[in-house]
Amino acid sequence: MSQENVDLEARLEEQEAFEPPESFVEQANVSDEGIYDEFEENWPECWERAADLLSWDEEYDTVLEDDDAPFYRWFTGGTLNASYNCIDRHVEDGAGDRVAIEWEGELGETRTYTYEDLLEEVNAFAATLRDLGVEEDDVVTLYMPMVPELPIAMLACARIGAPHSVVFAGFSAEALATRMNSAESEYLVTCDGYYRRGDPLDHISKTNEGLEDVDHEVSDVVVVDRLGDELEHDLAENQHDWADLVDDNRGETVEPVSRDAEDMLFLMYTSGTTGQPKGVKHTTAGYLAYTAWTSHAVLDIEPDDTYWCSADIGWITGHSYIVYGPLALGTSTVMYEGTPDYPEKDRLWEIIEKNEVDIFYTAPTAIRAFMKWGKEYPEKHDLSSLRLLGTVGEPINPKAWKWYYQHIGGGECPIVDTWWQTETGGMMVTTLPGVNTMKPGSAGPPLPGIDARIVDTQGEEVDAGNAGYLTVHNPWPGMLRTLYNNDERFISEYWEEYSDEEADEWVYFPEDGAKIDDDGFITVLGRVDDVINVSGHRLGTMEIESAIVGVEGVAEAAVVGGDHDVKGEAVYAYVIPEDGYEGNDDLRDQIVTGVEDAIGPIARPEQVVFTPELPKTRSGKIMRRLLEDIASGNELGNTSTLRNPEVVDDIAKEVQGD
């Protein structure tokens, strides 16, 4: 290592605050710190700035209507189409030749769609959906991996006003059925399979298995042929090949449907504390305006940038920051099908070099894996095109932040650590890269116009340095509007805890713990409900527990998150076998399979610990905190309040012994 690098490393280790480079600030979309006051003084009209990034069919009358809070309505009276905003208007503005989507397949093949190409594909698939009988407001389920047909299908749905419900391709057949049943969705777009680490992976069998559990008639299923001859499969009578249908409709033009600002754009299911996933409803205007605004202000996206978010479109990050936000701004967005370590551990850096990526947005879990693999992989590539880096999904530890800053950003790119959720639609707490100082490990202040505060259990704001609960005290355009067909659960999950209903004061509770410093910077500590965050993906412990107790031979189970070097958190399952069954490898395998079948491989337990008893309080409640400490290898506190303190040592030995 050169002396210069040694110095830099030593300096980085000690440094606690970083200023954005002057060269970045000079060109930043937002570089005036006055924006915070401006938004506060002019709230809620400040959000016109976000709405101005869109093209409206009919101008809106009112920015915010709050008479039916917390069922807020944004930009009421306005009409628009999301697909028009993401495609047509850029073509009309003369940018038809600009790349919209640059797709990198896992096997090394690429597909480039200009805005003009994207318009043709989306029109053809929108015409296909219409032919199949899809009408405005019909929910279309998209169970697809990272193939270009996924964003094409999303935008085609948006074009005809049919909300989409994307189900992550890694989810199980059962998870697909649950979501289709909940949304009463009669149309499905899926894929025969896809590649993982070079091998073809069957997706259609899993799809068909899921379809068997759908409790209503599914009219049509469209199947993308990704694997060609690699996978033989038959199509049922209501199943159609994507290419056959689309080829028939090539050249068709489908007029984008004018949607009311508050019409649903899509549904996205996410895990909650109960076994039933929650159908988060996002709307056309507020969501699109908010994702466009945050893409502009935080990700600093310009139309001539090449931007890459390495998330999967099956999660909210991909919806907001691969598809809707970046395309609304008319930029070029990269989409990668595969894993970061195939064929080699430098795949992502190769893609950045090749496409001269300006902005890169990824998850801390990926950064921790890159650190583990070593800096020699990024060093093999010229990453000097990068201007800005981002992270999302979980807390990033300062060490990983600094590694990212130095080895990917070359010490010259600001990093935005963005806190947000499926429910918030877009970023809520993060630095503005052209304005704020960065503090590794701390996401930053709430964005302009967002009133986020850290409170104690009584709802009183905590002093700087203390931990409390993150709460949001005014609404924002990208917020969820409700849980699909479940207004009651919407209120009880997010609003009941801290709102004063009588006074009509509504406080949104995201169920995260956090602390705040003297500068108003927020450090998010993690979930305070029974939800764990594995590799930036939210999993409900109840969902996993119910999968485990469904396995023959299991009497009781408790699932908690334990610290993990790379994944952030990992799933730990403590299981009591039923009388007559033994806690052996056989039962362990069945538990793992049971979880994979019910949810998917992402929920696979890191460890299954058999125990004759679970630690319980005298009132019979399982002491989850204690189980978490055991899983994380933390020192165990006082166990004397337990009904059965003697089980704790046995369980801890079992965990450490593995």
Task: Give the residues lining the site for ligand PRX (CB under 6 A).
Answer: 270, 316-317, 392-395, 417-422, 443, 510, 512, 524, 526-527, 533, 538
Closer residue to ligand PRX (CB): 203 or 278 = 278
Q: How long is the chain?
A: 658
Secondary structure element (H or E) that encloses residue 62, with its range:
strand 62-65
Residue type, 286: G
Q: How far is the CB of 364 from ligand PRX (least distance, A)?
A: 8
Cis amide leading into 446 (omega within 30): no
Phi, psi for residue 189 in degrees, rounded to 5: -115, 130
Cis amide leading into 343 (omega within 30): yes
Contacts of 208 (CB under 8 A, 6+ apart): 236
Residue type, 651: I
Residue written as token pair 């890159």 = 370
Angstrom distance (rounded) from CA 554 to CA 581: 8
Angstrom distance (rounded) from CA 170 to CA 602: 8
Phi, psi for residue 483 in degrees, rounded to 5: -95, 135
Nearest residue to 543 via CA among 2, 126, 171, 80: 171
Q: How far is the CB of 418 from ligand PRX (least distance, A)?
A: 5
Sign of CA dihedral 589, 570, 529, 627: positive
Contacts of 572 (CB under 8 A, 6+ apart): 559, 560, 561, 562, 605, 606, 607, 609, 627, 628, 630, 631, 655
Strand segments (E) across 273-323:
278-283, 306-309
Angstrom distance (rounded) from CA 266 to CA 557: 35
Residue in the shown chain whose Cβ atom is closest to ligand PRX: 422
CA angle 335, 340, 345 (to 5 degrees): 140
Q: Where are the alpha helices (DSSP H) in 184-241?
A: 204-212
Beta bridge partners of 189: 142, 222
Q: Is 212 helix (H, G, I), strand (E, B) or coil?
A: helix
Angstrom distance (rounded) from CA 536 to CA 316: 11
Instruction: State the pairing for strand pair 79-80/259-260.
Output: antiparallel
